[in-house]
Structure 1
Amino acid sequence: MSKWPMRTMRGLLCAVAAWIPSSAVADDFDVAKLSSNLDLASLSDADLSARSITVFHMGDLELTSGRIVASDPLVGPDRSAFVRTVPPGNYPVTLYEAFGRIAAASLRFADGKPARWELALVPDQDIASLKGDEFFGYPVDAGLGCYMDVDTYPLIQEREQQVRTQKSSSDINYYDDVLAPEIKINDDKYVMHRPVAGKRGNVAVFWSGWGDGFYPVFWGCDANDRPLVLFTDFGVTENADGRHEPGEG
């Protein structure tokens, strides 16, 4: 499923569902009404701290093709890459924690505050097809989100085969058999996972807010339409502020 009504999301997106009129069409689609947290990707660590947002710098994601996948890494690692691409390279991933949860994640390509934001789309998704309070995003059913290059999925398959061979069984669980020991080091919140040692291509895996749900991803671009950042909002905060839970005050 590639689109979802905003009322299905906890926290922020539940709160803002009423902001988008049922008559909204593509030309009127405003991502600021879908997420009030986009400033998280541009504020300094000091400013975020003042807003009770804890920052985790995960390290660099290796994009071998520049075609990016955002998904639940356990149930949707084969999800299509976004239509928009970036130059291959290594790019830093940052996580934003509030109320003990990972509230958002960003993948930064260049410095600067975005001049505009757009909803990230995969092939065959069309903003004009959205009705009422619908939006595009990705489903989470295992409590985790991720960023990775589309070329990394074959490495995950290779790691799965390695585990099957080691266990002499086709019955494996990628989380229990592979990810759990790695992510436990970071209090089960995140890990920069390398499926196959010695091979270029890793996966930024992180806790998805309050867990399972359906979450939007945004491109932040400069005035020349150059991507500066990719941002996932897990609906934990409002107005890029961790001092008050959504709905308070």
Structure 2
Amino acid sequence: MSTWPMRTLRGLLCAVAAWVPSSTNAAEIDISKLSSNLDLASLGDADLAARSIKVLRIGKVELTSGRIVASDPLVGPDRAPLARTVSPGDYPVTLYQAFGRIAAASLRFAEGKPTRWELAVIPGQDINSLKGDEFFGYPVDAGLGCYMDADTYAMIREREKQVQTEKSSSDINYYDDVLASELEPNNNDYALHRPISGKRGNVAVFSSGWGDGFYPVFWGLDASGRPLVLFTDFGVAENADGRREPGGK
């Protein structure tokens, strides 16, 4: 059987999550209460540098169907894709580093500054059901987040079977046997992982801020409702600023 490892983590992000089996609804919620870092996706390099934010452009994710999975790639590679879809294509991933950690990750579909933001949901989640500080997002239990196309999960399974054959064992560890060697050259912070060489479909893998937790994902939209960017906030910074840690740390 396959095993999905726990990585040694340096901290936990505590958050409240709500899950309900009903339809998606574009209700109005105060996005600013869920993230104060959305400007990271729109600021230029000079402004980001002035705020002590390091920018890491790690390459493009190949979205073969346009159905995006945002999840922990080790414990949730089969997570349902987001309800909103985009046109298939290759889209750049940018990571924002603050205080030596990956503070946020964006997936850019078109240029421009979003005029509004929405909390991303998967089918079956109803924003109207959220109360107080509740929000939708994805759980992290292996210290990693990712963006990938829903179709790419089949390639992860195919790679897993290849490793099983190579090891002559059904007991494999995808992190140790596959991902570790790709993450290590990048300080274990990120990798653009291609499960099957020569086949379209890859995974942008990145460390999740302080480690395990529950993290929100947001759509940045233009005035017509067209998606410009997808943004994951790992709760490392506040107000898109890396000069002072939240809480005065």
Deviations 1:113-135 (A, max 9, x none): 00000000000000011122110
1:53 corresponding residue in structure 2: 53
Residue 27 of structure 1: how far off its partner (Å): 4.7
2:178 corresponding residue in structure 1: 178
Distance 2:116 2:195 in 1: 34
Deviating 4+ runs (over 3 angstroms):
none
- Give 3-state SS (helix, strand or coil) of 1:58's partner: strand
Deviations 1:135-176 (A, max 9, x none): 000000000000000000000000000000000001000000
- Give 3-state SS (helix, strand or coil) of 2:245's partner: coil
Aligned counterparts, 1:1-249, within 5 A: 10=13, 27-248=27-248
Distance 1:65 1:157 in 2: 18
Gaps of 5+ in 2: 1-11, 17-25
Residue 28 of structure 1: how far off its partner (Å): 4.9
Structure with greater helix share of residues: 1
Distance 1:120 1:28 in 2: 13
**Counterpart amino acid of 2:177?**
D
**Counterpart amino acid of 1:92?**
P
Q: Which moved more, 1:97-106 or 1:127-136?
A: 127-136
Residue 10 of structure 1: how far off its partner (Å): 3.3
Residues 13 and 211 of structure 2 are in contact (CA less than 8 Å); yes or no, is this contact kept in structure 1? Answer: no
Deviations 1:84-136 (A, max 9, x none): 00000000000000001000000000000000000000000000111221100
- Give 3-state SS (helix, strand or coil) of 2:55's partner: strand
Distance 2:27 2:172 in 1: 46
- Give 3-state SS (helix, strand or coil) of 1:131's partner: coil
Distance 1:27 1:78 in 2: 27
Distance 2:49 2:149 in 1: 30
Distance 1:76 1:97 in 2: 24
Distance 1:201 1:88 in 2: 11
- Give 3-state SS (helix, strand or coil) of 1:136's partner: coil
Residue 45 of structure 1: how far off its partner (Å): 1.1
Gaps of 5+ in 1: 1-8, 15-25
Distance 1:82 1:64 in 2: 15
Aligned pair count reads: 229
Overall identity of the aligned pairs, in %? 75
Query: For the aligned residues, what is the CA RMSD?
Result: 1.5
- Give 3-state SS (helix, strand or coil) of 2:230's partner: strand
Distance 1:77 1:148 in 2: 9
Residue 248 of structure 1: how far off its partner (Å): 2.2
